[in-house]
Amino acid sequence: MMKIMMNKHNWTRFASFVWAIAIVIGSLPASLTTHATTLPYNVTFTLNNFRLPILSATLDDVSDPSHPTFTLQNGAPLWYSIAVQSTTDTTQLTPADSATDLVSTTFFTTAPLLLLPPVHVLPFDQWNGSYHFAALKLKTAFTGPNQQLHLELTPIEPHAVALDVVDMLVHLLGQNSDGAQVGLLAPGILKNIFDSTTSMPDFTALVDNYTQVLQSVPDSAQMLAYAYTCATNLVALLTNPTEQAGVIDLLWRVQGKVIPRSIVSRGVSSFAQAEFGLASEAFIKDQALAVGLALFGQNNPVVQLATVSISQPTRTPSPSPTTTITPSPTPDPVVNIHPTLTPVQTPIPK
Partner 1 sequence: MALVFSLYIALYPTSNAHAQGASFTVQITGMAQPPGFTPALLTLHVYDTVVFVNHAMPATTYAITAIDGSFSSPAIASGDQWSMTFVNVGTHEYHESSSPQHMAGELVIVSDAVSLLPAPQPDVMATAITDIRAGNSPPDVITLPSTTAGAKIKHIQPTQSGVQLSFLVLALGLFLILLMQTGVAFAIALYFRRRSKSRDLGVDFQALEQPNSLESVGADDHAKHEGKTRSILKKLPFFHSSQGDDEEQEDDDEDYDE
What are the residues binding partner 1 (CB under 8 A)?
A: 52-54, 75-77, 102, 120, 123, 130-131, 168, 170-177, 179-180, 182-183, 185-189, 251, 255-261, 263-264, 266-267, 270-271, 273-276, 278-279, 282-283, 286-287, 289-291, 293-295
d(CA 321, CA 312): 10
Q: Which is nearer to partner 1, 92 or 175 (CB)?
A: 175
Q: Which is nearer to partner 1, 43 or 180 (CB)?
A: 180
Closest distance to partner 1 from the beta carbon of 329 (Å): 16
The three-state secondary structure class of 278 is helix
Strands 55-61 and 69-74: antiparallel
Closest distance to partner 1 from the beta carbon of 349 (Å): 11
d(CA 268, CA 275): 13
94: enclosing H helix or E strand: strand 92-95
Closest distance to partner 1 from the beta carbon of 205 (Å): 20
Q: Which is nearer to partner 1, 39 or 182 (CB)?
A: 182
Closest distance to partner 1 from the beta carbon of 174 (Å): 3
Closest distance to partner 1 from the beta carbon of 281 (Å): 10
Backbone angles phi, psi at 194, to 5 degrees: -65, -35
Quick one: DSSP state of residue 328? B
Q: Which is nearer to partner 1, 136 or 289 (CB)?
A: 289
Angle between helices 158-172 and 277-295 (to 10 degrees): 130
Q: Which is nearer to partner 1, 32 or 274 (CB)?
A: 274
Q: Which is nearer to partner 1, 214 or 306 (CB)?
A: 214
* Residue (of 168, 261, 245, 243) closest to 203 by Cα position: 243
d(CA 56, CA 72): 6
Give residues with Cβ within 8 angstroms of 121, minimum separation 6: 134, 167, 179, 181, 184
Closest distance to partner 1 from the beta carbon of 348 (Å): 13
